[in-house]
């Protein structure tokens, strides 16, 4: 028996870094949105151990979040069998689109089915928090409000279906650790756009959703990596309602109501010699 799960990408529509707390972590608040772009996870029983296959080069198996998810369930529930996990990667690695966390969530869901663990959504969320900050979101999916250090997740009103996104990742990656170590504290935590983002999603007002997109990580990342802002401005010049870096970056997304506009933005990036040289991945996708 083989279980097949889709592991969807995400973007951060808002990301407020409120303050650093005494533990060294940060109090944050954001709205996160699932997209149609996805990896495919295939899981089947083997006699013992964990075997990980992938169609691209990923981190060492024991550092991979899907591997860690499988290892956690096997130990926690004393599962006698092992698993073979095959990942078909379509989400760029280390891109700010949550691919690794989504793969982990899909592995938890798949193994829950494969081994008849009968874990509820709430139980999966609690377990997933031990793997990575974004993993609980991917258990819920859709549109989610996240607070605290990232551990508190609540599904909110879903985004309108007729929204298209252009995703563009430059030819480098930014680690979450680097992003947090280089926060511009003079500028972060001032705009606090998340509450307004939730209101505009409730109103289903795409123009207002676009206007309220915000990411506190942009202040420091733009200084170090100007190409991120250049991609953002190129998208806006080509009729995106707005554009934003997702998470800790470096992927930028542009938002539009029309698929033809999204495809035009995508083509403008692919055909421009400067961006063609500096962008690793570009595609059109939409909300789910």
User: Could you say which of 10, 68, 109, 234 is catalytic?
Assistant: 10
User: Is 134 noted as a catalytic residue in this protein?
Assistant: yes
User: Could you say which of 103, 134, 216, 232 is catalytic?
Assistant: 134
CA–CA–CA angle 232, 136, 151 (5° rounding): 90
Catalytic residues: 10, 134
């Amino acid at each position: 028996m083989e279980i097949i799960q889709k592991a969807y990408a995400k973007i951060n529509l808002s990301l407020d870094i409120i303050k650093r707390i005494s533990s060294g972590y940060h109090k944050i608040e954001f709205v996160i949105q699932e997209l149609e772009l996805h990896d495919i996870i295939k899981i089947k029983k083997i006699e013992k151990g964990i075997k990980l296959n992938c169609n691209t080069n990923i981190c060492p198996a024991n550092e991979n979040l899907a591997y860690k998810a499988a290892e956690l369930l096997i130990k926690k529930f004393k599962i006698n069998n092992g698993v073979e996990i095959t990942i078909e990667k379509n989400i760029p690695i280390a891109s700010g689109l949550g691919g690794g966390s989504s793969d982990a969530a899909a592995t938890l869901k798949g193994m829950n089915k494969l081994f008849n663990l009968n874990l509820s959504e709430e139980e999966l969320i609690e377990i997933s928090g031990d793997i990575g900050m974004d993993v609980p979101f991917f258990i819920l999916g859709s549109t989610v409000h996240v607070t605290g250090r990232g551990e508190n997740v609540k599904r909110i009103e879903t985004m309108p279906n007729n929204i298209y996104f252009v995703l563009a990742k430059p030819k480098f990656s930014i680690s979450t650790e680097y992003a947090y170590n280089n926060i511009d504290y003079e500028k972060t935590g001032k705009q606090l756009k998340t509450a307004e983002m939730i209101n505009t999603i409730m109103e289903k007002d795409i123009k207002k959703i676009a206007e309220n997109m915000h990411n506190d990580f942009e202040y420091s990342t733009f200084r170090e990596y100007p190409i991120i802002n250049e991609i953002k401005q190129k998208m806006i010049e080509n009729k995106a309602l707005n554009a934003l870096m997702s998470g800790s970056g470096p992927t930028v997304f542009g938002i539009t109501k029309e698929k033809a506009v999204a495809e035009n933005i995508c083509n403008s990036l692919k055909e421009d010699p400067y961006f063609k040289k500096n962008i690793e991945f570009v595609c059109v996708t939409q909300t789910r």
